Amino acid sequence: MTAAPPFLDAGPGGVEEDMAAAYALVNAFDADQSGSRLGNPHAEFAALRRRGAVHRSTLEEVFTGTDVLGPTGTPAWHVVSYHAVEQVLRDEHVFSSSAYGDSMGQVVGRSFLEMDGAEHRAWRNVLNGGFHRQAVSERQALIRRDVVARLGTLANRGGGDLVRDLAFPVALTAIAGIIGFPPGTRIGTLYTWAVGLIDDADGKITGAMTEWLGTPSSWPPQSLVGRLLRRNDPLIGTGPELLPAVRLLLSTGTEPPFRSLATLMYAVLSDPALLETARADESGATALMQECWRWECPLTWVLRRCSTDTELCGVRLREGDLVCVNLASANRDEVRWADADRLDVHRQPQPHLAMGTGPHICLGRHLAALEAHEVLAGLAQATTTVWPSRPVLDTDGIGGRGFRSPRRLTLRW
């Protein structure tokens, strides 16, 4: 395997600076969306559930909480109950992922996110080779060292922001390694390009990546790109045709995971008893992680489009209708969970929808779980052997409407 192309080579020590610059752009974007962080959307979602499972709305109203009347709105159905959301996610024949062609597709290009049927399965069959539980577990030692080192650095300098200095770089580094980027690559730059925070007007990033993808020997055989490049399947293609997939993997492999890690750390630092639960045994850590995902899933909505006329919970939908599936609302459906707004690690376990379900269930769910376990273990160790004393936590709490997480978790000793 060769090094990154010169334009994408950060050089010694440059990777951390590159990731810090990327997070600054992410944080600035979140700040620009601050209006949508106000209030508690869960109260709004609960009111919708009391009125019904499926509601006629617009994308603008769903995404902002503000009524959009007249021809300026984009008509959409807002699906809010657990039963209805699960039904939509499981039936790709009626509810197509092609809806993403008008949103994510405009940023990353046509990727497996917006594919259905055999085409989608072809991609997942290859990518699952790098995301299944055993493959992910082989990266555990790397992730553990990363977490421990970053927590130690925080202690040595007397504090820092766990979102900026731990959650974001851990998630980005982990997915970059699985994709196949070698150490020293400007993965922060690649991430901000992948999600559209920088526009690559001169085409240098796209050109470098296109050239790199045209050289299969540059990628480890067991990496995600290596697997895709070596797969002789016309449904997948080769070389530059993989560019949208790489952008999507960087985006979805970083954004929801770092936000879910931030929420998890917010929970245990706000209630030390939760950290003791995680410290006690692995089952306690798993229960805490799963309950945090249910309580505040990092991604609120996914999109689908009706492939045919259908009925959903007594509501008639037409072919071509856009469907906005509310995962956050489904995960607090009081029909399924008692006192659903409360984080309760002792609940009787049952499936939630933070990672989706059906044909498009999250590919990276095992990686996200491993990252969460290692962060919990690292925090438990740091509070007893690394940190000089219990730090003071300064946070803005959990906010956001489309993505939900704390924007900052600042520790000071």
Confidence tier at 356 by pLDDT (50, 70, 90): very high
> What is the pLDDT at residue 34?
56
Dist CA 124 CA 188 (whole Å): 25
pLDDT in tens, 203-223: 999 999 999 999 999 999 999
List Cα–Cα distances, 50 to 46, 64, 84, 245, in angstroms.
6, 20, 14, 39
Higher pLDDT, residue 5 or 164:
164
- C-alpha of 65 from chain center: 22
Dist CA 247 CA 198 (whole Å): 13
Say if residues 298 and 292 touch (Cβ distance below 8 Å).
no
Dist CA 256 CA 266 (whole Å): 15
Taking residues 110-138, report their average pLDDT: 96
> What is the pLDDT at residue 70?
60
pLDDT in tens, 319-338: 999 999 999 999 999 999 99
Dist CA 15 CA 169 (whole Å): 10
User: Percentage of the chain surpassing pLDDT 70?
Assistant: 97
Confidence tier at 272 by pLDDT (50, 70, 90): confident
Dist CA 124 CA 133 (whole Å): 15
pLDDT in tens, 75-100: 999 999 999 999 999 999 999 999 99
Q: Could you tell me which of 347, 351, 359, 363 has the C-alpha nearest to residue 327?
A: 351
> Taking the model in full, what pTM does it have?
0.95
Higher pLDDT, residue 149 or 67:
149
Q: Facing residues of 317 across strands?
A: 310
Q: Could you tell me which of 330, 374, 285 has the C-alpha nearest to residue 46?
A: 330
> What is the pLDDT at residue 378?
94
Residue 385, classified by CB atoms within 10 Å of its CB into exposed (0-12), middle (13-18) or buried (19+), is exposed
Sign of the alpha-carbon dihedral angle for 156, 159, 165, 166: positive
> What is the pLDDT at residue 38?
53
Residue 177, classified by CB atoms within 10 Å of its CB into exposed (0-12), middle (13-18) or buried (19+), is buried
User: Percentage of the chain surpassing pLDDT 90?
Assistant: 84
> What is the pLDDT at residue 69?
58
**Domain 6-412: CATH superfamily, name plus number:** Cytochrome P450 (1.10.630.10)
Q: What are phi and psi of 326, to 5 degrees?
A: -95, 95
Q: How many residues does the chain have?
A: 413
pLDDT in tens, 293-303: 999 999 999 99
pLDDT in tens, 25-41: 999 988 876 554 456 89
Q: Facing residues of 299 across strands?
A: 403
Sequence spans of domains, the chain: 6-412
Average pLDDT along the chain = 93
> What DSSP assignment string belongs to 19-58?
HHHHHHHHHHHHHHTGGGGSS-HHHHHHHHHHH-SEEEEE
> What is the pLDDT at residue 37?
46
Say if residues 46 and 334 touch (Cβ distance below 8 Å).
yes
List Cα–Cα distances, 147 to 295, 383, 394, in angstroms.
24, 14, 21
Say if residues 23 and 166 touch (Cβ distance below 8 Å).
no
